[in-house]
Structures are given as structure tokens and as C-alpha cells.
Amino acid sequence: MTDRQIASERPVGAPEGSPNFSHLDDVPWRKVRAQRNADGSESFVHEKWIAYSREPQYLSLYARYDPGMIVRRHGHHSPHIVFILEGEVWIGDQHCGPGMHVELPYGAAFGPIIAGDAGAVMFEVMMGNPSSWGDQPELFDQALERAGAAALPHPPYDLPTDTRPG
């Protein structure tokens, strides 16, 4: 197929738009989850919300999990993609290192997520409502107990704002 064979008209009903560019260095870190570790130190999930839109709704983010960080088993109110860039995590019983792509169809739950000894860096996209729901809390409790850790209240943070120009 050549470029000339690709449709040359905007899809019917599609709004006009243009690319949005943002650089990771210009996006602030947000601490979104916290735990107290067995040694008394604290670990966090840090996120940079790179792109967020309310209509159509989506969120892309860059996440950093501190070593040993544990996140409850959960799902999102949308399809969700996770790509492991650095480090490692266990998602339930599945080991995920650099290059692992995790596709979560709408309604799928995953976890608990447990970061490895060096932590992990991930890129994620939620293609719809990014809010989460949880299930099987006993799995989270068991993972925390095995690590001698305790969940702390979620750090306060502002919800994302629409990053599209306009």
C-alpha cells in the first residue's frame, strides 16, 4: 500500500486536530501511592501524567515504583496498557521485566503489583476513564504482610487537567 492508496479525507465526523507535544522533563512528578516498609522507610509510586483529556477521555503516564512498592490488585474503567521500561515487577504471579507489554481489556484486574529490588519504570495508557476499582483485598494484605510493609494513606494530589490546547 502506498501513501496515495490511503484515504485522503478526514474520517466523517472526526474533529480537526493537531499533534500535541510535551516533554517528560516538563511534567511534574506526583506521588500517588505510599507504604511504610519493614525498616521504617517509606516507598512510593511516582507518576508523571503526560497527557490527559476529558473528551475523549484518556490518560498517558510515566510511572516510577520505588523498590519493593506494593500496589493493590485493581482495574480501571477503561482499556489499559502497561509497558515495562526499566526494572521489574511481579503482577500477580507473572514476572515482568523490561520490554514486557501488558494489555488489560476493559474490566480486567491485575495485581497485586510488587516492584523488584531496583524498582521499576513503566509507561501506561488508559484509553477512557482512568479511575480505578479494586478487588480481592486479601491478596494485597498478604503481599504487605510478607514484606513486613503497611499501606499508608494515598498522598494528596490534584487530579489532572486537560492537557490539550484550547
pLDDT digits (tens, 9 = 90+) for 128-140: 999 999 999 999 9
Which phi and psi angles does 14 have, rounded to 5°? -75, 130
Domains and CATH numbers, the chain: 28-119+131-166 (2.60.120.10)
Cα dist from 57 to 3, 53, 109, 148, 164, whole Å? 30, 5, 20, 38, 11
Q: What span, in angstroms and rounded, lies between the C-alpha atoms of 164 and 150?
A: 38
- pLDDT, one tens digit per residue, over 4-58 is 666 677 778 777 778 889 999 999 999 999 999 999 999 999 999 999 988 889 9
- pLDDT, one tens digit per residue, over 46-62 is 999 999 988 889 999 99
- Determine the pLDDT at residue 28: 93
Q: What span, in angstroms and rounded, lies between the C-alpha atoms of 53 and 61?
A: 12
Other Cβ atoms closer than 10 A to 94: 10
Please determine, for residue 104, whether its predicted confidence score (pLDDT) is greater than 60. Answer: yes
